[in-house]
């Protein structure tokens, strides 16, 4: 199968799973709102009837922190703790849903009801969690080898100087080019578990590496292409979200709709990677 066909079929499969993607989106929205809403209420209570709230209108003016006083420290601590908690819970939830999505993309008839999706997610959760943790460990070591070590060596050679630009750009480029390999192995391993129903993690990883070796360029380029498009999309999304400053109620609502729509597309693009890898292996 050609690269283009793989990507196209992957995209069609991901798009046809829109209900599942919307379900995942709903979950992320609910858990983040559970943190964000009390935070917003806290801010509103702090400002009360004060017009100083205007200092948040063009980005967060750190100068206001002193005026807020001690509650600001408490707010920052809450935000930090909430972010950590959200990150952890989010990791488990996304790993959980990946089980259902991979199941969906390995089915020949291409349909999966939400209840089946949840059942498949639950069934695949433990092996998927193990694969996720193992692959994150591998990617962490890979990152340390290609970025951490050069930084340390560079600092040692140059007398504690921070590394200069060009060489680090080179190492970063090498790191980015190698990343699709690990992501492919991770996805292909999970696809193997979803397709076979086996819980054997190391056999799954072996299958992932085998799939990579058998069709290296198709596998590699599939993930690389999806990753590049994802990265550009994420950069655009974050730029838009950071720089947009809607200043009226309805505009703020439309802004919310816009960024959430874009986030749904981001979820779709992640599912696209899963689906494309599944296609490339079949």
Partner 1 sequence: MGLFNKRTVMRRYFSVFFCLLPFAAGGQVVVDKPLSARLTGYDINVVLDPEEHTLSGQMTAFWVNHSSAPVSEAMMHMYLNAFSSNKSTFNAKGRWSAAGDNGWGWVKVNSVDDGNGNNLLDSLRYVSPDDGNINDRTVMRVGLPGAVEPGDTLTLNIGFVSKLPSPIVRTGYVDDFHFVAQWFPKFGVYETAGMRQRETDGWNCHQFHPNSEFYSNHSVYNVSVTLPTDFVTGSGGMLIEEIDLGEGLKKVVWRAEDIVDFAWTAWPGYKVLTRKWNNVDVTLLTSAAGLKKADNQFKAVMYALDYLGEKVGPYPWPHLTFVDPPVSGAGAGGMEYTTLFTSMGGGVVPSFLKMAEMVTIHEFGHAYFMGILASNEFEEPWVDEGINSYWEQRIVDHYYGDGYGLLNLPFLKMSDADQGRLSYITSPGHNIATNDLPSWMYPHNTYSTMSYSKAATWLHTLEGIIGTKTMDNVFREYYRRWAFRHPSGKDFIAVVDDVVRREHGNKYGENMNWFFDQVLYGSGICDYRLTGITSNKIRSYSGVVEGDSVTYTRSDRSSDTLYLSRVSIERLGEVKLPVDVLIRFDNGDEILEKWDGIAGYRDFEYTGTGKVIWAKIDPYDKIDMDVNRINNSYTLEQNFTATRRMMNKFVLLMQMMISIFTL
Region label for 249, one of left (φ > 0), alpha (ψ between -120 and 50) or beta (otherwise): alpha
Task: Tell me: does residue 1 bind partner 1 (CB under 8 A).
Answer: no
Q: What is the smallest separation between the CB atom of 159 and partner 1, expressed in angstroms? A: 5
Bridge partners of 57, per DSSP, are 59
In 3-state terms, what secondary structure has residue 57?
Answer: strand
Q: What residue has token string 């490339």? A: 280
Q: Interface residues for partner 1 in 222-241 (CB under 8 A)? A: 234, 237-238, 241
Determine the size of the site formed for partner 1 (CB under 8 A).
77
Q: What is the smallest separation between the CB atom of 239 and partner 1, expressed in angstroms? A: 9
Q: What is the smallest separation between the CB atom of 16 and partner 1, expressed in angstroms? A: 20
Task: Tell me: does residue 30 bind partner 1 (CB under 8 A).
Answer: no
The binder of partner 1 chosen from 16, 32, 143, 282 (CB under 8 A): 32
Q: Report in angstroms the alpha-carbon separations of 35 from 75, 79, 82, 138.
A: 12, 8, 7, 31
Q: Interface residues for partner 1 in 185-214 (CB under 8 A)? A: 186-187
Q: What are phi and psi of 17, to 5 degrees?
A: -100, 30
Task: Tell me: does residue 145 bind partner 1 (CB under 8 A).
Answer: no
Contact 20, 104 (CB under 8 A): yes
Task: Tell me: does residue 50 bind partner 1 (CB under 8 A).
Answer: yes
Task: Tell me: does residue 148 bind partner 1 (CB under 8 A).
Answer: no
């Amino acid at each position: 199968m050609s690269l283009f066909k793989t990507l196209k079929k992957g995209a069609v499969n991901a798009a046809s799973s829109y209900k599942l993607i919307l379900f995942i989106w709903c979950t992320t929205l609910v858990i983040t709102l559970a943190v964000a809403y009390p935070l917003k209420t806290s801010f509103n209570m702090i400002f009360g009837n004060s017009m100083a709230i205007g200092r948040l209108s063009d980005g967060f003016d750190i100068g206001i922190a002193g005026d807020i006083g001690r509650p600001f420290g408490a707010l920052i601590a809450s935000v930090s703790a909430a972010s950590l908690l959200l990150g952890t819970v989010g990791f488990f939830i996304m790993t959980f849903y990946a089980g259902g999505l991979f199941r969906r993309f390995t089915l020949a008839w291409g349909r999966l009801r939400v209840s089946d999706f949840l059942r498949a997610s639950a069934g695949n959760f433990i092996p998927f969690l193990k694969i996720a943790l193992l692959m994150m460990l591998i990617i962490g070591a890979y990152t340390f080898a290609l970025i951490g070590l050069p930084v340390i060596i560079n600092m040692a050679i140059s007398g504690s100087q921070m590394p200069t630009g060009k060489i680090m750009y080179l190492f970063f480029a090498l790191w980015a080019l190698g990343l699709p390999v690990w992501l492919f192995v991770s996805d292909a391993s999970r696809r193997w578990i979803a397709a076979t129903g086996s819980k054997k993690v190391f056999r799954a990883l072996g299958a992932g590496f085998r799939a990579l070796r058998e069709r290296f360029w198709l596998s590699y380029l599939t993930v690389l292409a999806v990753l590049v498009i994802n990265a550009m999309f994420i950069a655009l999304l974050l730029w838009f979200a950071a720089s947009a400053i809607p200043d009226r109620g309805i505009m703020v609502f439309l802004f919310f709709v816009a960024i959430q729509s874009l986030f749904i597309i981001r979820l779709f693009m992640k599912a696209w990677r899963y689906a494309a890898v599944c296609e490339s292996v079949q």
